[in-house]
Structure 1
Amino acid sequence: MGGHVEPSAHRVAMGRAVRDLRTGRGLTVRQVADRIGVSIGTVSAIENGHVATSTERAVELADVLGVRPERLLLGVVEPIRDERWRVASGEGEGAGAEHWRHYEPLDLDPALRGALACFLELGYHGSTMRGVAERAGLSVAGLYHYYASKQQLLVSILDRTMDELSRRTSAAQAEADEPWTRFARLVECQALFHSHRRELGFIGATEMRSLAGPARARIAQVRRQEQTRIDDEVRAACRAEAFATPLPHEAARAVVTMCTAIPQWYRHGGDSTPERVAQWYVDFALDLVQCDPALRPTSALP
């Protein structure tokens, strides 16, 4: 005889945690659904405890919501990276015009740290789940408990990369009023990110080809949006006769390519700081677009 089946206590607790974290982050159901590649109905069903959630899906949700997967699986609402998320998003005490320039040590769970080390040393195709587990200090079974595949590890790393870069470039772009100054801030932000986060930038530049399916299309779209930010500011500055380049589209592509190549040569602890590299690259970029000398923004860098 059919009847209504009450959702399990575990599903209810996890669904409540997902909903509370999502609303606390200021995210809509659609935004969460788009980021993990499911329908709005699926996210609603998870939040209401109506469907079981696989470990792989829980890991994807945890990464979007800024908590460790084990906390979400246990239905624990308290976010581990809450204060850092608020500052990086321009909210809360300590946020402000300079927050996009401030970098704390990279915060990855042990599995992602192991995967990042493995991919940097051996490349995605040369890496194995066993090798990732060894670098993470986990058993292979423990690694599979939270990440179902090597592909999922790569997707999680690239999602983290693009989420952080997008938050920072949004803040940098919002800091200035004129397109030529916004352009300079965007270039500075890109250069800072690709030196401070050299490892993430390197994987982003070299392993996009290793992505498959919807994740590849989704992450590629975010990358295109980052390029579009600079495209738009170069075109606007050309219309205002602040930039004299006859090739704004090509110049904007060259600027982004120049910045994303920084991880190929930059090394932490070397002769140049990320801040100094950013100063150089802003100067290079303004020269490339033929910025009117009278309008060149005064750098905020030392």
Structure 2
Amino acid sequence: MKSDEVLRAAVLLFARQGYAATGIREIAREVGLNSATLYHYTNGKEGLLVAVMQSCLDELLRSTDEALRHSGDPQVQLGRLIRAHVGLSALNPLSSRVTDQAFRSLGSANRASLLVLRDSYESQLGAVIDAGARAGLFDVADPRLTRLAILEMCNGVANWYRHAGRLPMRAVQMQFVDFGCRLVGAPAMDEAELGPVQTPHLLRCEPYAPPDTMEDLS
């Protein structure tokens, strides 16, 4: 579908050279169109950025909902949230980087609507940390700082993870769950305690499908 090709070209260029430095003509050239024809598939450069960011944030919220429904145990919830966030960052590195970095490039209306999604995700993560602390499961001196540290840790995976690297994604996910447990002062967990793994989604705006996206993680 041509609209998906346009989206993939946009996220590739936004991640490679930045949103501000990417022109609509460059995106059109990437998919073999002229600028006038490109507007049949998008309402403009900012519309493409919004589509990328919304896809990424919607998937984070979907995984959050799944984690909270799976268990009422804050440590299991936290582990599943971290595992899903790391998987999303590993499978969708370009979309994840653009979403993490491009809020200031948005117009005020789009920024406000997407901040609602981002803040909803972050507040739910914060609520899990607070619940674990209240229950005596977590030992955190500063819950807000802990939340920010976990978010930065998970977002950073998009900057360095390679599918042909030393560790498979599943091993990286569990190592990051261990890091998260240490940050909240909780004991380490194994996969059996976290429950079945849902395969992270490959967003339609990513320009390629890494080899291990077809691995059955269930």
TM range (shorter): 0.7 to 0.9
Equivalent residue number for residue 207 of structure 1? 102
Shift of 1:242: 0.7
Pick from 168, 176, 190: which aligns with 1:298?
A: 190
Structure 2: distance between partners of 1:173 and 1:138? 44
Matching residue's letter, 1:229? Q
Runs of 4 or more consecutive aligned structure 1 residues displaced over 6 Å after TM superposition: none
How many Å separate the matches in 2 of 1:159 and 1:248? 27
Q: Write out per-residue CA displacement over residues 160-185 of structure 1, whole angstroms, 9 at most, x where no aligned residue.
A: 11112211221122111211111111
Does residue 278 of structure 1 match 2:170?
no
Deviation of 1:274 (Å): 2.1
Does residue 288 of structure 1 match 2:180?
no
SS at match of 1:242: coil
Determine if contact 2:177/2:189 at 8 Å carries over to the other structure.
no
Alignment correspondent of 1:139: 34
Length-normalised TM-score, structure 1? 0.60
Q: Do the aligned residues in 2 keep the contact of 1:169 with 1:190 (CA within 8 Å)? A: no
Percent identity over the alignment? 29
What is the TM-score with the length of structure 2 in the denominator?
Answer: 0.82
Aligned to 1:251: 146
Please point out which of 53, 64, 69 is paired with 1:158.
53
Q: Does the 8 Å CA contact 2:146/2:183 hold for their aligned counterparts?
A: yes
Q: Provide the alpha-carbon RMSD of the alignment.
A: 1.9
Q: How far is the alpha carbon of 1:255 from its aligned partner?
A: 0.8
Give yes or no for contact 2:78–2:129 (8 Å, CA) kept in 1.
yes
Per-residue CA deviation, residues 127-159 of structure 1 (Å, 9 max, x unaligned), is 111110111232322211221321111111111
Larger Rg: 1
Distance in 2 of aligned mates of 1:244 and 1:266: 30
Once residues 233 and 165 of structure 1 are traced to their aligned partners in structure 2, the CA distance between those partners, rounded to angstroms, is 15
Greater RCO structure (CA 8 Å; 6+ sep): 2
Which residue identity does 1:169 align to in structure 2?
A: T
Counterpart-to-counterpart distance in 2, 1:116 and 1:289:
34
Residue 17 of structure 2: which of 100, 107, 122 is its match? Answer: 122
Contact 2:63 2:81 in 1 (8 A): no
Residue 188 of structure 1 contacts residue 279 of structure 1 at CA under 8 Å; is this kept in 2? yes
What CA distance in whole angstroms lies between the structure 1 residues aligned with 2:56 and 2:179?
Answer: 25
Q: Provide the rounded CA distance (Å) in 2 between the counterparts of 1:165 and 1:204.
A: 11
Tell me which amino acid in the other structure corresponds to 1:298.
Answer: D
2:69 aligned with 1:174: yes
Residue of structure 2 equivalent to 1:113: 8
User: What residue in structure 2 maps to residue 33 of structure 1?
Assistant: none
Partner of 2:91: 196
Counterpart of 1:3 in structure 2 is none
Gaps of 5+ in 1: 1-67, 71-107
